[in-house]
Amino acid sequence: MATATERIPVLVTPQEKAQIAHMAKESNLSMGEYLRQAAAAFRAPEDEKLLAGMIDQMVITTERAGKAIDDALAFVAESEARIDAQDRAAGQR
């Protein structure tokens, strides 16, 4: 692991500092390491909203694609039925 040489000053209340210190101690980590790991694991709620929106759009697109495929298959089946009818009509002459 690289040696930490940069500082990020963060102001917290005395209660927040005590809570962070307590959680770090419970995790057997220094406060600095605890905060580094917490920051690395954090994902902003905006990421979750964006992902949910992408999933919603994928569901809509998949439904549209499925309908388009069903419509194309129905068109092909109707075309085949018309061709068969024409072939039968031509054979009766």
User: What confidence score (pLDDT) does residue 46 get?
Assistant: 77
Structural domain containing residue 55: 44-93
- HSE, side-chain direction, 13 A CA sphere, residue 13: 3
pTM confidence score: 0.47
Mean pLDDT of 12-27: 97
User: What confidence score (pLDDT) does residue 93 get?
Assistant: 61
pLDDT > 90 in the chain, percent: 74
Give the Cα separation of 61 and 8 in Å (integer): 44
Three-class SS state of 29: coil
Whether 18 and 56 map to the same domain: the answer is no
Give the Cα separation of 48 and 62 in Å (integer): 21
Whether 36 and 51 map to the same domain: the answer is no
Mean pLDDT of 53-65: 96
Whether 26 and 37 map to the same domain: the answer is yes
Whether 91 and 48 map to the same domain: the answer is yes
